[in-house]
Amino acid sequence: MYKMILSDLDETLLVNHHVPKVNQEAIFKAKEKGVKFVPATGRAFNMIGEILQEIDNYQKEDEYSICFNGGLIVENKDAKILSFQGLPFDLAKEMFEMGKNFDVCVMIFTLDCCYIFNADPDEVERKTVQKARFEVIDEYNMDFLKDDHIAKLLYEKRDMDYLKGIEKQIQSHVEGRLAVSYSSYRYLEFNPIGVSKGAALKWLADYLHMDIQETIAIGDNYNDTSMIKAAGLGVCVSSATEDIQAMSNYVTKADYDQGAVAEVIEKFVEGGQMDGL
């Protein structure tokens, strides 16, 4: 039997930044069977409080969240930090200054806030809807963050081909120094080397003395691929790209806004399937 499910949030679990009822009900059934449900997101922990409330994980002992693409692992009760891997200031500043060369919005996440430079109005609206703690900074200078805990930095543009072109141009600067991923078809993300949702899944399974083969990971985008590969059952939603579908053990019939997470729970937790994919 599977004992833990990790789920990406945007374009996987959520619809309009909330957990739809069909997914909530399925999660509650899984939890009744003793299965842990763990959000695994690129978001900050302070951005997911309402989501945790919707799945009844808010301020709960022995319930967990993975944030910043695996850079932060939290026990939800009192936001207890179990693991944090942040970006050194000098490396963050190098990527920040490099962002000047591209037509992108640059965002820096600390443990407490998201700072937005060269702001895209659509991104500001998105952060507002997400109820994120953020500040738009008019001056392109990040020196005020020198003594803060920087979790990650990302470039935002609603053009994936453009972002992929940036990665090719800067590959020599980031290779072996940063973990690079994409999310929400609008972000090119930079985390500390070794940080990924897959690594966080392995860490949490070990922390809970759980066999990783007893875990399910559900996602839709490239920052989810490491956990899709690492989990005992790696799942992607139907709208995922063909290459992500190819690496997944199971592709949902439903899309994220049609209850893809509920489908997985009903098939592999309620139905009890462990093999025969």
Closest to 218 measured CA to CA, from 161, 262, 172: 262
DSSP assignment, residue 67? E
Q: Which amino acid is at 253?
A: K
Paired residues of 137 in beta bridges: 117
Contact status, residue 64 vs residue 71, Cβ threshold 8 Å: no
Return the pLDDT at 56: 98
Give the pLDDT confidence score for residue 197 in this predicted structure.
Answer: 98
Full set of structural domains in the chain with CATH: 4-84+196-270 (3.40.50.1000), 89-192 (3.30.1240.10)
Q: DSSP code of 102? A: S
- Return d(Cα 240, Cα 219) in angstroms, integer: 8
Pairing of β 178-183 and β 187-192 = antiparallel
Contact 86, 97 (CB under 8 A): no
What are the residues whose beta carbons fall under 8 Å from the beta carbon of 100, sequence distance 6 or more? 140
| Whole-number Å distance between alpha carbons of 223 and 195 | 10
Which tokens belong to 38? 């763990």
Torsion angle, CA of 95/97/101/107, rounded to 10 degrees?
60
pLDDT along the chain (277 residues), means of 10: 97 96 98 98 96 98 98 98 98 98 98 97 95 96 98 98 97 96 96 98 98 98 97 98 98 98 97 60
What's residue 274's pLDDT? 59
pLDDT recorded at residue 276: 42
Q: What is residue 272's predicted lDDT score, i.e. its pLDDT?
A: 67
